[in-house]
Amino acid sequence: MSTYELVTPLKAEDITQLSVGDVVYISGIVYTARDEAHAHILELDEAGEKLPIDLEGAVIYHCGPLMVQENDQWKAVASGPTTSARMAKMTPKLLEKHNVRALIGKGGMQGVTETLKDRCVYLAYTGGCAALAAGSIKKVRSVHWLQLGMPEAVWELEVERFGPLIVGIDAHGNDLFEKVREKALTAFCQLR
């Protein structure tokens, strides 16, 4: 297990050096996106419209932050991870069109390991750390699609040493969550 400090935008070599269980800290730009934002991105892609964000080498954070506005500037009050499983079905289409290099969330993402292979990693952030996460946000650079609602909008965040994040699915086809499920199932079957 190693620790890595990565700066966005990420390159292929940034993520292919990572292995399941490694610890990662991210600095640079991170975009939040939950269900509605993913669906909206895919709708715009299908319509051939340009996105207001640059997803080349991007990091997408599955998060619905709580923001306040102070002196015409947005500030994150809480920005903990949301359950990533809800975005799993949309991830293959998203990665077909965009060179997103890292997804951050909680709980893992079943069914995306092959899709992530050689192109993207899934980084797990511990649930319940919303205040810690907000402390790593140095600036809210912009917000897109606020009409979707505060938690569903895409927030462009400038972060510094965002983490600690654990590599849950690496770009080599290894899935930490699947290994845990297999061990749990084996243990359960032995008890019966």
In this predicted structure, what is the pLDDT of residue 181? Answer: 60
CB-side exposure of 82: number of CA atoms within 13 Å? 18
| Span 91-101, average pLDDT | 96
- Higher pLDDT among residues 2 and 128, named by residue: 2
Q: pLDDT-based confidence at 187, cuts 50/70/90?
A: low
Give the single-character DSSP code of 106. Answer: B
Q: Look over the chain and give the mean of its residue pLDDT values, rounded to a whole number.
A: 92
| Span 5-15, average pLDDT | 97
Q: Quick one: how far is CA 119 from the chain centroid?
A: 14
Q: pLDDT-based confidence at 1, cuts 50/70/90?
A: confident
CA 85 vs CA 21, 75, 112, 175, 187: distances in Å: 19, 27, 10, 14, 24
- Where in the sequence numbering do the catalytic residues fall? 38
In this predicted structure, what is the pLDDT of residue 133? Answer: 85
pLDDT at 183 > cutoff 70: no
In this predicted structure, what is the pLDDT of residue 149? Answer: 95
- Higher pLDDT among residues 78 and 180, named by residue: 78
- What CATH number is attached to the domain comprising 47? 3.20.130.10
Q: What total number of domains does the chain contain?
A: 1
d(CA 92, CA 97): 9
pLDDT at 94 > cutoff 90: yes
In this predicted structure, what is the pLDDT of residue 126? Answer: 83
Q: Which domain holds residue 105?
A: 3-191
Q: What are 40-75's pLDDT values in tens digits?
A: 999 999 999 999 999 999 999 999 999 999 888 999
pLDDT at 115 > cutoff 90: yes
- Percent of the chain exceeding pLDDT 70 equals 93
d(CA 75, CA 68): 5
